[in-house]
Each structure stands twice: as structure tokens, then as C-alpha cells.
Structure 1
């Protein structure tokens, strides 16, 4: 006699696959690490940020779980970097902690370029007028950035009659540190002394026109 109950759980003789009545094995949950999978640095950063902001908000793990709709066990996994968070979970955490989602990733971007220049240092550059007592010292640049700012410390020590004018794409910001001069931009003239500033379009011819009180030092910050 054939036992039909046994047939219901047998394989399809054509394909060798379980028939539709068979229970399917439960797959791994989305967003959770698989056996043997290492949790990465990003999870550790999120864990640190969640712990930090939970402490700032003076919340227990149970209170944060209640706010976010996550289980206390899940909060514990997140704070120990034992699980990867889905986007939905990240949004719930951010809402519960009253922070933007991006705050959970703070510190993930490392190795950003920066330039530090000690007083009196910087790269001397030769420009029109250098030979007439005009010193141009670039205070820093960022690698591979064509759109970066270029801060230059300009020192004028010689009351010469040579006043080169400059033109370049982008904008420039002039900030007077010491001395007094008349600075021109296009058809306009500005008498500038310590504390004065000027923001100008670099396409217009600009530069010192008259040196009134030497030495003169000012910052020229250009952006393209």
C-alpha cells in the first residue's frame, strides 16, 4: 500500500527539487552578517555614534528601543557592532535620537586632505612685481583640487611705481593686515587699511594702485 502522506514531501522526479508543499529553509535576514562574515569599520562607527547620542539624550537601551520600535536585543547588537543596519533601521535610530542620519556616519570619512602652515612659512611664488619688493607667499593648497581656494600672503615693502594688475577666473577676497594702500578693481579705487576687506570678480583687472603706509601686508584668497 502506498503512503500518500510520504509522497507529499518527496522530491519531484523530473527536477529533483522539493515540491511546493515542502517547507522552505529560512534565508538569512537582510542586513544581518552571515556566519563567518566580519562586521566592518562602518558598523563600529555607527555603534560608537549610537552609544554616544543615547548617552547625550540620557536614554537607556530599553527607552531607545521603545522610541525606535526596535527590540532591546537589536539595540544591543547595534551598539556592539554585531550587526549591519538596514536603511530603515538607520532612519529609526536617527529619529529616536533626534539627529540627522548623517550623524551616525560621522568619522567614516577619514584621510581628508589638509595643509598646515607655520607662521613665516609658506611657498614663495614669483609673480609680476616680485622684483620690486612685492612678496607673494602661498599659504597652502589641496592635492588634486582645481576648484580649491588659494590663500596668499602678500607683503609690499618697496614704494615703487610698479603696480602690476592681475586678471583671472573666479573670485578673490582681500583682507588688510597692516599698512595702508589704494587698491583698484576695474574703474574703482578703494583706500584700504588694517581690518578692511574687499571681495571682487577676478576677471576685472585688480591690484595695488598707491602704497600709502609701508610695510603693507594683506591676505589675497582666490577661488576658481
Structure 2
């Protein structure tokens, strides 16, 4: 049977117990009033993000520990599966790219796989750099591409090479000289469950341009 996530109060009680602190001693160490700590430990109050940062900094512990799962907690098995066949892909065509979205029958995915044929040959032809929530991984299947991004010099990737970027950073992929087009596999990920909507709105912008 899977365990529920520990409350912040339980985590603080465990932390105080490991250090053999009284509430007053923990208050002195953390800079958080005794009354506040007591209410949090009894799950009658929570801490703001600023206070969690203060607790993390003053006690010298990673803030992730304050949100950690119990070590013996089990992750639920969703048993989801989808075969990514190109013939079943959802195709979106824009002036720069020809997208084939895979495994579209799965909703609320943490990753969005897409095979993209890149036709743009220059940043002038491409237009404004695009950006969207999350991160993405691009692997070159055929041809070669030039990756342009907001904070880095352009980089060229040949077949078999790849790149991982922050998608919130403006970016563009274009086919390099010597290739009319290039084919890449991209995997986009985000905590935003509406990532697919963000991507589709970008396609609307591309088609509008």
C-alpha cells in the first residue's frame, strides 16, 4: 500500500528530533517564532515560501528536503503506454516546420514527442525567436541544423548530434547550407499540464506570420 506524502509538520518534527532540539532551540536556530513552529508541527499552519527559504538557509538543509517524499513511499504505476507511429501522428504544417506529434491519445503527458521537418534556411526567413514553458531535447535524424538561441552563439548539429535547452529562452532551428531541409526528433517537457496548448498557440502565430 502506498504512503501519503508527509506533511510539513511531520517533516519539521522529524528534523527537530534528529537534532534533539526543543521548540525554543529550533526557533533560535531558524529565526522562526516558537508559536509558529508549534502550529506548523501540529499541521495548523503552513510556512510561506520565503519562510521555507529562511528555514533552509538557517538550518543548512536543501529546501527540497522540506518537500521530500518518505523514503519508503511508493510511486503509483499508471501503466500508460502509447506506440508512436508516424502514420498516426497529428501533423501541423507552418512556414518553417512540418510537425508530426506522436502518442497524441495520451492526455496530460509530462513529455511531448514530436518529429519535425525543418525547412527554414535563415533566421531572417524564420522570423522572431520562439519560446514556451519547460525544456526540450532535439536529436538530428537527417541533415544538419543550426541552433540559434537568445543567450548563446549559434551552434551547428549534424546527424546523430543533439542539444538540450531551456525552452523559456528564445530559440530557433534552421537547416544549414547544403541541406534543403533537416529532420529532427524533439521531446518537450514541462510541469505545465497545458504545454500542448502553448505549443499549438505558437503554431498559430507561425501560420499567422
Relative to total residues, which structure has the larger helix share, 1 or 2? 2
**Higher RCO (CA < 8 A, seq sep 6+):** 2
Q: TM-score, normalised by structure 2?
A: 0.47
TM-score by length of 1: 0.44
Which protein shows a greater Rg?
A: 1
